Amino acid sequence: MSDHRVAPVTAHEPPYYAVVFTSVRTEDGDGYGDTAERLEELVTEVPGFLGMDQARTPGGLGITVGYFRDLAAIEEWRSDLEHRAAQKRGRAQWYEAYTVHVAKVERSHTFERVPTRE
């Protein structure tokens, strides 16, 4: 997974959806990086895609949270053919276990540190 940002996705105006994907990888990472990079590009083309947060503890759990305006946007992403092929390969090769939670955000807020001058 690439990580271009150093800031979390900020709060959007509710309601919107969060798709929480938690996973543990197998030791077979062949092809994973390229596919992940491709999917991260593809999802940005889905109308209603609001952003994505990703983190992975080395050797441990990975969490990806995708934010979408509504269920129609999630459905479009779910049915994307490249995404479906990657999911199938993920179950066959890359993932030991994963859970997906599709959830409607009811409230959210963002804190950002105010820079201080010395």
Given the rule CB under 8 A, which residues bind a copy of itself?
A: 3, 5-11, 17-18, 20, 22-24, 26, 53-58, 60-63, 65, 67, 91, 95-113
- Residue number with CB closer to a copy of itself (42 or 105): 105
- Residue number with CB closer to a copy of itself (5 or 84): 5
- Residue number with CB closer to a copy of itself (63 or 85): 63
Taking the complex as a whole, the smallest distance from the CB of residue 77 to a copy of itself amounts, in Å, to 15
Is the bond leading into 8 cis (omega within 30 degrees of zero)?
no
Taking the complex as a whole, the smallest distance from the CB of residue 69 to a copy of itself amounts, in Å, to 14
- Residue number with CB closer to a copy of itself (60 or 118): 60
> At a CB cut-off of 8 Å and minimum separation 6, what does 31 contact?
89, 93
Distance CA 114, CA 118 (A): 13
Taking the complex as a whole, the smallest distance from the CB of residue 47 to a copy of itself amounts, in Å, to 20
Distance CA 51, CA 48 (A): 9
CA atoms within 13 A on the CB side of 93: 13
Taking the complex as a whole, the smallest distance from the CB of residue 3 to a copy of itself amounts, in Å, to 5
Nearest to 64 by CA among 10, 112, 93, 100: 100
